[in-house]
Amino acid sequence: MRIGILGTGALATSLGTAWVRAGHEVLVGGRSAERAAAAAAAMGGGDGRTDGGGTARAAATAAEAAAGRDAVLLAVSWAGVPDILRAAGADRGALAGTVLVDPVNAVDHGVGEHLLTDGRAAAEHIADLAPGARVVKAFHLLPAARWSAAGGPVTVPVAGDDEAALRTVAVLAGDAGGTAAVVGPLRRARQLEEAAGLVIGLVFAGYDPAAAVPHVPARGAARV
């Protein structure tokens, strides 16, 4: 798959590493071409080099990173979302039809409280900022390092309105070592975001979030 990544930080690098390893063609861009080059190099494919798997390459601009990709990961902090989407041309329809993967946690990181007081999901605001994009909430709940390091099985809760986009994200989750679990349409993303806020709040308060969730055996998974 041709994947664009907007953002050059921890999550961009970790998921990019997993996807390069799985054979995808990753193009990463942010507001700094230097940081994009460093992120591409850290993904293991170097800048354009292949390592038997996929490739990682740095884009000169966010617009280049997002243009003509099969899926675009929006890996920036909530405060940076409007800027990077504008830089990618999303307000002018540049992402129309593109699968836009949203892992953004719009929460107060010390407390875990959602920053948006209108009751809507950050994912829904992102959809407003990127007209026509097929937005899927995903990859927001687990720590970034999980994707580039080996680990046990993980579930990736996802929400979105477009069936084909959900299938694309299920492939991306599988290739990063997870199993996608569709919870429902994009309006359910608020619930997923609140869940991340709870996890973040517990971590900052010194509690293990995994110990706060009951272990209930699965009743047979519905896969996408």
**CA 134/CA 100 separation, integer angstroms:** 6
The residue to which tokens 């349409």 are assigned: 185
The stretch among 8-16, 113-121, 164-172, 180-188 that binds ligand NAP (CB under 6 A) is 8-16
Identify the CA nearest to 88 among candidates 78, 77, 73, 103.
73
Q: Residue 74's CB: how many other CB atoms inside 10 A?
A: 29
Which of 3, 4, 5, 12 forms a contact with ligand NAP (CB under 6 A)? 12
* 159 belongs to the binding site for ligand NAP (CB under 6 A): no
Q: How far is the CB of 120 from ligand NAP (least distance, A)?
A: 17
One residue of 55, 105, 148, 168 binding ligand NAP per CB under 6 A? 105
Site string for ligand NAP, 126-155 (x = CB under 6 A): --------------x--xx-----------
Structure tokens at 111: 């407390």
Q: Which residues pair with 73 in a beta bridge?
A: 5, 101
The dihedral formed by the CA atoms of 12, 16, 18 and 22, expressed in degrees to the nearest 10: 160
7 is a site residue for ligand NAP (CB under 6 A):
yes
Beta carbon of residue 147, minimum distance to ligand NAP (angstroms, whole number): 9
**CA atoms within 13 A of residue 180's CA, in its CB half-sphere:** 25
Binds ligand NAP by CB under 6 A, chosen from 17, 25, 28, 35: 35
- In the complex, which residues of this chain contact ligand NAP (CB under 6 A)? 7-12, 30-32, 35, 75-80, 83-84, 103-105, 140, 143-144
